Amino acid sequence: MKIVLFWHRRDLRTHDNAGLAAALQSGYPVLTLFIYDREILDLLPSRQDARVTFIYDQVERLGRETAAAGGTFLAFYGRPLEVFGQLLSQHEVAAIYTNEDYEPYAAERDGAVAVLAHERGAEFKAFKDQVIFAKNELLGKSGKPARTFGSYRKAWLEKAQDEHFQPYPSADLLTAGHLQALPNAPARPSLADMGFARYEQFVPAAELPAEDLVRNYHETRNRPGLVNSSTRRSVHLRFGTLSVRELMRQARELNPKLLAELVWRDYFMMLLWHYPGTATESFDVRLRQVPYRNNEDEFAAWCAGQTGYPLVDAGMRELNATGYLPNRARIATAGFLVKHLLIDWRWGDRYFADHLLDYDMSQNVGNWQWMAGTGVVAAPWFRVYSPQSQLETYDPDLAYVKQWVPEYGTAAYPAPIVDHKFARQRAIDTLRAAYRAAG
């Protein structure tokens, strides 16, 4: 009897899941699975990783939900091509269903799995699930991605209709009649089986944020010292434990500013798909040869939150302690690294990649290149935020600084690592010279 395989990746939920709903409507019994991809896990700097712990908990939850519905949820620790090689030998597979993933590695991996599936007589079907518009669905008039967020957002808002936000009926379809149960299914690997130790960090519930928070979002989002200043749903969007359609429905109803931020997410994901090379290289060719200073001691001080600039230090300490950083603090820390210290944006991108629970290549690269002035869309290269003015504007009562830099204002707190005026001029001169040299 033929079956369909459904492969979960960045969509660790059974409700409102586009690809899962399609698989459950395929007419074949569905065997659902997750692969702990060694190509990714083996590169992690630590065996105590909050993201791996989070994923593990979600996979186990999916396992329980699927069992309760009468099916089997498989999990493997391995390389996707090898895992599918085995599954295609063990079962008569009509098709592999999954949801699209737009990162360069994922595109390559999925291409290889699709080839393997076709060789074995199975189809490979990927569905759009984690954004509203993907790939070539929303291009500028030139047929290329819009080069300003303003024009992208305008086109996005014009094109988006109620139907784009409708939930998929995957949860209702998750029944014994649609699922495949395997009597002798292999046990799912534990964290220890994969060489990882449990490491938990705070994650809010995978549910919609409170209505009040969303209504006030535009007033609170830039105030890192306030409790509940933003939704903190980024980790759930990253792993698909919350449906982006659901969050967007709420934002459309209650707060256009929140919707606009979610549109940024769509935009950066589309940009990375079109320009995969920007994951490691500046999009602006004129800024590929910037003589960054890349001073290792200064980088270490930035990482440790010891720059002598309290907003920057509070941000880095929060990141190190919790794996999270509010957007305003990401702007302050990133801007300081690339402009004041003139350190290559890729160093900061890497550090965030290793520490953020919500790390998402498209969002991280897009935002870092924005801050560095090197991106497809970018802040003007001569914009150098003053960390002191940022502090006065966004943390006027020092609530955020007091929380993360308790020694601020005492002799124990370091002097500024560099003078703001001097660093600002140095950044502008260096970037201007790089532009001129590039012609």
Ligand X SMILES: Cc1cc2nc3c(=O)[nH]c(=O)nc-3n(C[C@H](O)[C@H](O)[C@H](O)COP(=O)(O)OP(=O)(O)OC[C@H]3O[C@@H](n4cnc5c(N)ncnc54)[C@H](O)[C@@H]3O)c2cc1C
178 or 265: whose CB is closer to ligand X?
Answer: 265
Q: How far is the CB of 399 from ligand X (least distance, A)?
A: 17
Nearer to ligand X (CB atom), residue 28 or residue 395: 395
Does residue number 367 form part of the binding site for ligand X (CB under 6 A)?
yes
Task: Supply 384's token pair.
Answer: 């150098």
Q: How many CB atoms lie within 10 A of CB 385?
A: 19
Among 268, 275, 347, 385, binds ligand X (CB under 6 A): 268
Residue 222 binds ligand X, judged by CB under 6 A: no
Task: For residue 40, give the nearest of 11, 80, 12 by alpha carbon.
Answer: 80
Closer CB to ligand X, 6 or 267, in the complex: 267
Number of shown-chain residues binding ligand X (CB under 6 A)? 28
Q: What is the DSSP letter of 339?
A: I
Place of tokens 């957007």: 327
The residue from 51, 249, 265, 340 that contacts ligand X (CB under 6 A) is 265
Binding track, positions 61-100, relative to ligand X; x by CB under 6 A: ----------------------------------------
Stretch that binds ligand X, among 100-108, 200-208, 260-268, 418-426 (CB under 6 A): 260-268
CA distance 267 to 102: 12
Determine if 359 is a binding residue for ligand X (CB under 6 A): yes
CB-based burial, 55-73: b 16+ in 10 Å, e otherwise: bbbbbebbbebbeebebbb
368 makes contact with ligand X (CB under 6 A): yes
Cα end-to-end span (Å), the chain: 65
One of 29, 145, 310, 326 touching ligand X (CB under 6 A): 326
261 counts as binding ligand X under rule CB under 6 A: yes
Angle between helical axes of 211-220 and 256-274 (0-180°, round to 10): 80
Q: Using CB under 6 A, which of 3, 179, 331, 338 touches ligand X?
A: 331
Per the annotation, binding residues for FAD are 217, 230-234, 261-268, 358-360
Using CA atoms, how far residue 81 sits from 35, 94, 117, 149, 435, in Å, is 10, 17, 10, 37, 44
> What distance in Å separates the CA atoms of residue 79 and residue 433, rounded to the nearest whole number?
46
Q: Which is nearer to ligand X, 29 or 326 (CB)?
A: 326
- What number of CA atoms fall less than 13 Å from residue 318's CA on the CB side? 23
* Sheet-wide strand order for 73-78: 73-78, 30-37, 3-8, 93-99, 123-127
3-state secondary structure of 383: coil
221 lies in the site for ligand X, by CB under 6 A: yes
Stretch that binds ligand X, among 176-184, 286-294, 309-317, 360-368 (CB under 6 A): 360-368
Q: Which stretch binds ligand X (CB under 6 A): 9-17, 45-53, 233-241, 410-418?
A: 233-241
Kindly tell me which residue out of 11, 110, 284, 358 binds ligand X, with binding defined by CB under 6 A.
Answer: 358
Joined together, the tokens standing for residue 22 give 């399609």
- Binding site feature residues: 217, 230-234, 261-268, 358-360
In the complex, the residues that contact ligand X under the rule CB under 6 A are 221, 230-234, 237-238, 261-262, 264-265, 268, 326-327, 330-331, 334, 352, 356, 358-360, 363-364, 367-368, 371
